[in-house]
Amino acid sequence: MNKTEAVTLVTMLVTSYPGTRFDEGNAAAYEAAIADLDARETQDALADLVRTSRFLPSIADIRSEVFRLRKTRQAAAAEQERLLSARAPSELGPGPHEWARTLATMLEDQARFERMTKAWCEKNGKPYSGDPGAPFVALAQAGARGDDVRGRFQREVIGYQEEQERRYP
């Protein structure tokens, strides 16, 4: 982060703890200590610390929180990449991400939602335009068949979302 971002973040931190004595020397120490961190990550860490800390966090607390958030985000991104790159349930290993189980649940939910949507459309005199959950079920079906889940996700889900954005800006 640059100097301006560091000053802004330290100012935000200090104003969140109005009863704390904080002079320019303290501010300079905090700014220098967080200058090597990513501004966005530091802002998120400070927001978490302000919500959970009764007292002004130390520099070590701030740095620790930044690294904890970074590690959590990296783990989540790796897990998402693993799930999206899986071509078959066996590649996911045991656990809650088995395609067959997911597909069965999604098909039940899709059928229930479709019945409710059709009933609502008939009751309110609106045309039925299809099930919005269909792309997600198609994704689970692709995984159950061993298809390329990432490609299917791109075609089905993202394509559906783009269509909805065009329809309802």
CATH of the domain at 56: 1.10.8
Q: Do 101 and 78 belong together in one domain?
A: no
Q: Do 76 and 93 belong together in one domain?
A: no
Single-letter residue type at 107: L
Q: How far apart (Å, rounded) are the C-alpha atoms in residues 17 and 11? A: 10
Q: Do 102 and 150 belong together in one domain?
A: yes
85-109: per-residue pLDDT in tens? 666 555 555 454 556 666 666 667 6
**Looking at residue 74, what is its pLDDT?**
87
Average pLDDT (135-154) is 64
Tell me the chain's radius of gyration from C-alpha atoms. Answer: 24
**Looking at residue 21, what is its pLDDT?**
87
Average pLDDT of the residues of the chain: 77
More confident residue, 101 or 124: 124
Q: Do 78 and 106 belong together in one domain?
A: no
How many domains does the structure of the chain reveal?
2
Which residues neighbour 136 within 8 Å (Cβ) at sequence distance 6 or greater?
Answer: 106, 156, 157
Cβ(87)–Cβ(149) under 8 Å? yes
Asked which of 56, 82, 108 is the last residue of a domain, the reply is 82
pLDDT > 60? residue 16 = yes
Q: Do 134 and 63 belong together in one domain?
A: no
Q: Do 95 and 152 belong together in one domain?
A: yes
The residue among 7, 17, 74, 71 whose CA lies nearest residue 39 is 7
Q: Do 62 and 13 belong together in one domain?
A: yes
Q: Do 53 and 114 belong together in one domain?
A: no
Q: Do 138 and 156 belong together in one domain?
A: yes
Q: How far apart (Å, rounded) are the C-alpha atoms in residues 39 and 37? A: 6
Asked which of 40, 63, 82 is the last residue of a domain, the reply is 82
**Looking at residue 96, what is its pLDDT?**
47
Q: State the residue range of the domain holding 110.
A: 89-167
pTM of the full structure: 0.51
